[in-house]
Structure 1
Amino acid sequence: MPVEPINSYDDFQKAIKGDKTIVVDFWASWCGPCKAISPIFQQLSEIDDLDVLGFYKVDVDAQTRIAEEMEIRAMPTFAVFKDGKKIQEIVGADPRSLMLMLNSVIP
């Protein structure tokens, strides 16, 4: 599944409250580590074993309401949501930590 951009607060609410567990990459266009891990996040979204998860991106500068409500303080931040609630979060561009988090939330 390709990574889907979230372009509005309503889109974000629909995504986190949907049937699927989702992972969201909170990023910024000026963030070097965000740019470095973005292709890895895309590759992870295409792994068959992870297709039970939804993959999304939120540009924190374009979606300030979402970033503020989710208390995003550093980029990149990766957060996992299930049933409308944040269940896990990691900060930083560490592919190994991201993969471990994803594996821990596979239903």
Structure 2
Amino acid sequence: MAYKSFLSERGLGGRLFSSSLITMTVICAAIFCMQAGCRSSDVSNAALADAEMPMPDQNAPEAVASERPSYAQSNDGPTNADNKNIQLASARLNQSSDEANRVAPSSKLVTLRTLGAEDNFQQIVSDAPGVVLVDFYADWCGPCRKQGKVLHGLESFAAQNNAQIIKVDVDQHKAIAKQFAVASLPTLVVIKNGKVVDQKVGLTSESRLRSMLQ
């Protein structure tokens, strides 16, 4: 009886010990799974965060287009539009010649000049003994600055040919620019004997300028 009682007690204790061990194992496994799940969730969230990119602003306003005249490409030959502008400018120039002739002429010929606010353009053209090359430009025009450097280099050549170069700022002399139908810069107009004989839009080569001044 005592032996059976001992076995019974050992059996009960063993079952209690086994039950406790199983319970502890289940608890540890649950804790481990919970921690692993949290780490996996954190990694997944971090990966998603790295993969997301902010959407571009689809409503961003486009750049405002410049209202300045466009720069024409260099073209050595006159176009139909150029010929039409030459005819219109010649007619307008002839209409103003009578008024210019009533003003006393200048006594000194200036080979290259920038038309001032008080200068009489029609009078200068009327008094010119030879070819007048009018350079329509603007301070904000990059090609105009390049064209101006070439024209300054031809000042002596113009003097030898009794020609004049007149630079006209289109922002300061809008009426004159309109008279010659200037739409792009730089624009060159050649006047001879009171009539427009040539008109060129865009950067012009030095050789072409020399031919204009002769």
Q: TM-score range by the shorter chain?
A: 0.7 to 0.9
Supply the AA of the counterpart residue of 1:6.
L
The Cα offsets for residues 29-51 of structure 1, whole Å up to 9 and x where unpaired, read as: 11010011111111112226753
Task: Within 5 Å, give how 1:36-47 maps onto structure 2.
Answer: 36-47=146-157
Larger radius of gyration, structure 1 or 2?
Answer: 2
Which residue of structure 2 aligns with residue 100 of structure 1?
Answer: 208
Contact 1:17 1:82 (8 Å CA) reproduced: no
**Structure with greater contact order relative to length (CA < 8 Å, sep ≥ 6):** 1
Which residue of structure 2 aligns with residue 16 of structure 1?
Answer: 125
Q: Which runs of 5+ in 1 are unaligned?
A: none
Q: Which runs of 5+ in 2 are unaligned?
A: 1-109
Decide whether aligned partners of structure 1 residues 71 and 34 sit closer, same or farther in structure 2, where only a CA change above 3 A counts: same
Structure 2 counterpart of 1:89, from 196, 199, 206: 199
Supply the AA of the counterpart residue of 2:116.
N
2: CA distance, partners of 1:3 / 1:48? 8
The Cα offsets for residues 47-80 of structure 1, whole Å up to 9 and x where unpaired, read as: 2675321111000000001000111111101111
The count of corresponding residues between Structure 1 and Structure 2 is: 104
2: CA distance, partners of 1:88 / 1:24? 10
TM-score where L is the length of structure 1: 0.82
Which residue of structure 1 aligns with residue 115 of structure 2?
Answer: 6
Residue 86 of structure 1 and its aligned partner are, at CA, apart by: 1.1
Decide whether aligned partners of structure 1 residues 42 and 104 sit closer, same or farther in structure 2, where only a CA change above 3 A counts: closer
Question: What percent identity do the matched residue pairs reach?
Answer: 27
2: CA distance, partners of 1:48 / 1:105? 6
Task: Within 5 Å, give how 1:53-64 maps onto structure 2.
Answer: 53-64=163-174
CA RMSD of aligned residues (A): 2.2
Residue 103 of structure 1 and its aligned partner are, at CA, apart by: 1.6
Decide whether aligned partners of structure 1 residues 20 and 49 sit closer, same or farther in structure 2, where only a CA change above 3 A counts: closer
SS in 1 for 2:154: helix
Q: Kindly report structure 1 stretches of 4+ aligned residues shifted beyond 6 Å.
A: none
2: CA distance, partners of 1:88 / 1:2? 19
> Per residue, is there more helix in 1 or in 2?
2
TM-score where L is the length of structure 2: 0.44
> Per residue, is there more strand in 1 or in 2?
1
| Worse overlay, 38-47 or 23-32 | 38-47
